[in-house]
Structure 1
């Protein structure tokens, strides 16, 4: 599998910055090389690109708050970061409102099926 846990700069950077998911400790035990490669990959958009940091943080709030992720420590960290780079309370609230729209898909899929099934049982 993997070699020594020494010399993993991206892993160490994430741990020191507080951008660390405790579940990654298990990945680090199993395959620190994979974890290091993953952290390098996920850091690319944060390190460069045309979007302002405020926009990046708002997107990361949406990702972490979405019904398919719901990672509270990430939401907290990126709200703190967004405020530090100038996001307003209203912008963050709108971001959360927009990300909540993902959950409505369950109704868009489920309600027509429910109506169909109820119709079948009524016959």
Structure 2
């Protein structure tokens, strides 16, 4: 990876919104990771939705019973709080997502409380 430039990968690392699994993927297939991150960045960097709403959607995706990705939930709750979302707005997103299954609430609510507490300390 050192010989070739990977702008999407470098840009994603710079945001601090980095999934540690991507480190392994960068070693195994950096071209794939670069392509994936470039594709993923389009709706994140373009379009009319404010960042706060994008983060709320990411929370919904990550707490969904078909996904259940705790590190993504944490990352996007932190990002949503930084973008101005309230605890109540995040909870409503989880409530709406819970229609897919109550597991969304079991995963998301404890993480929400931990991240709100962490955010309030900063």
Normalization by structure 1: what TM-score?
0.73
Within the candidate set 17, 25, 28, 2:26 is matched to 28
Match of 2:66 in 1: 68
The 5-angstrom pairing of residues 1-123 of structure 1 reads 6-103=4-101
Distance 1:58 1:13 in 2: 22
Per-residue deviation, residues 58-85 of structure 1 (Å, max 9, x unmatched): 0011111111111112111111111122
Tell me, which stretches of 5 or more residues in structure 2 are unaligned? Answer: 103-122
Distance 1:16 1:86 in 2: 21
Distance 1:34 1:45 in 2: 19
Residue correspondences, number: 102
How many angstroms does 1:18 deviate by? 2.5
Larger Rg computed on CA atoms: 1
Tell me, which stretches of 5 or more residues in structure 1 are unaligned? Answer: 105-123
Name the Cα RMSD after superposition. Answer: 1.8
